[in-house]
Amino acid sequence: MKNISITVFTCFLALAFNAQELYFELRPDHQTPVKKKELERAGLLKEITPGYPQNWMDEYVSVEILVTSKGRMNKALSKNDVLTGDQKNLLKTADLWSTVSIDVKYKTRNAATGKTDLRNMNYVVTVVPDVEASFKGGDAKLNEYIKQSGIKKVAGTFPPTEVIPASTFSLNDQGDAFTYVRHSTVIKFTVNEKGETEDVRVITSCGDPAIDEVLYNAIVNMPKWTPAQSAGMNVKQDFLFSVGDQGGC
């Protein structure tokens, strides 16, 4: 049986900028989001994940949904892409920021052999609040703040990409005669229920502590955000801030 893992690309808040060959990105720390309200209303798999490849399936065998609820893993099964009552109820209990794993077993005709293959597809979505955190003043103001408070202060001193010839090492995985070593600083932080940044930490260093500190301080001293909201309540949200030489983040 063949296993297929798919990634579904969904639009979400992200800010990217390239100034004087120094690139930065600030984005939520999650992949493939689905809003909690949408999850609670879902009746079909495609309503959980836009872009769901329904045309791959000639015949469903089973659909298993794995959900984290109050810190515990629970699962429910169905025979096809129509969610059962148990699956719907389970999705309604999914913890905020947890992942929902969907495992689909199906049959499809192999165009090369003419035979029917049994295949397995798995994909994962992240449960996000109804309203995600946003910088007061919008992306333009956030862009300007990041540039003035961080990027312009380190643009002239940030470590450039190193090109290392194969004679120094061995051929890289692609068999090229050289390899790139790109430097980047990655900072993780949380926007709390009051819209303040907290738990700011450098998770990847560019190799220059002074540069890391400038970028760290830019996040620590950032103006307030409008916090994320779920069911009318303010909630915390994690973000990633990445800075690197051109294409290096």
- Closest to 128 measured CA to CA, from 10, 35, 48, 231: 35
- Cα–Cα–Cα angle for 122, 248, 32, rounded to 5 degrees: 25
Question: What values do phi and psi take at 39, rounded to 5?
Answer: -65, -40
> What is the CB neighbour count within 10 angstroms for residue 108?
15
Percent of the chain's residues with pLDDT above 90: 67
Q: What is the pLDDT of residues 52-73, one digit of tens each?
A: 888 888 899 999 999 999 999 9
Structure tokens at 94: 């999914």
Distance CA(33)–CA(9), nearest Å, equals 9
Is the Cβ–Cβ distance between 155 and 201 less than 8 Å? no
Cα torsion for 189, 193, 195, 197, to the nearest 10°? -20
CA 79 to each of CA 35, 47, 61, 64, 244: distance values in angstroms, whole numbers, following the listed order: 25, 17, 6, 9, 47
Would you kindly state where each structural domain of the chain is located, as residue ranges? 2-30+132-245, 36-128
Distance CA(108)–CA(174), nearest Å, equals 33
pLDDT at residue 227 above 80? yes
Structure tokens at 153: 């202060």
Q: What is the pLDDT of residues 131-142, one digit of tens each?
A: 999 999 999 999
pLDDT at residue 191 above 60? yes
Residue 40's SS3 state is: helix
Residue 8's pLDDT is what? 39
Structure tokens at 181: 């070593």
Is the Cβ–Cβ distance between 75 and 66 less than 8 Å? yes
